[in-house]
């Protein structure tokens, strides 16, 4: 059963990237709980509730000419009807009209808390942090309305501060 749960969770994590890049916002319903809390350090923002999260991400991503999100290195810890997952992500954002160059690439991680629902595993809380970036910072935020945090911090620094929920979950066992 644990392997089936892990596979279902990894599929939900990957569905997030597919939903973004295909701009199929209703697929967020297969990834997040209705009351999701999403904290995105690179965007300098947090959302509570799937509807607000979807609307904000649709507005932002629809303003880009193109984007590619890659999920990798997924780690999953299942504990009954709750789980924690950690995965790395790469984000290529393209805005052709951006002064200073059309691309920005970020690398970071997702630290997720999931719950088993009647519809399957869903992310209840997601924290996304930036580890490094390159390119034109005006591509992701041309007006700086979110005042993004572009500070690159090593994963070991987040771990030392106790800021990785997945790490807490696997070390308490």
Query: CA 161, CA 165: separation in Å to the nearest integer?
Result: 11
Q: Is the pLDDT of residue 43 over 70?
A: no
pLDDT of residue 147: 55
pLDDT tens per residue, range 102-121: 999 999 999 999 999 999 99
Mean pLDDT across 49-56: 95
Mean pLDDT across 43-54: 88
pLDDT of residue 54: 95
pLDDT of residue 141: 76
Residues of 61-79 as b/e, b for ≥16 C-beta within 10 angstroms?
A: beebeebebebeebebbbe
């Amino acid at each position: 059963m644990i392997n089936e749960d892990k596979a279902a969770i990894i599929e939900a994590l990957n569905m997030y990237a597919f939903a973004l890049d295909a701009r199929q916002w209703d697929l967020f319903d297969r990834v997040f709980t209705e009351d999701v809390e999403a904290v995105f350090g690179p965007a300098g923002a947090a959302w509570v509730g799937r509807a607000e999260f979807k609307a904000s991400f649709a507005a932002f991503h629809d303003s880009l000419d193109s984007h590619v999100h890659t999920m990798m290195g997924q780690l999953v810890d299942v504990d009954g009807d709750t789980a924690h997952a950690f995965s790395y992500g790469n984000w290529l954002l393209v805005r052709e009209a951006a002064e200073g160059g059309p691309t920005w690439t970020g690398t970071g991680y997702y630290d997720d808390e999931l719950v088993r629902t009647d519809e399957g595993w869903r992310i209840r809380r997601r924290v996304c942090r930036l580890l490094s970036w390159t390119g034109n910072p005006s591509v992701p935020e041309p007006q700086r309305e979110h005042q993004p945090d572009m500070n690159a911090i090593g994963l070991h620094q987040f771990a030392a501060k106790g800021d990785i929920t997945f790490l807490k979950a696997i070390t308490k066992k």
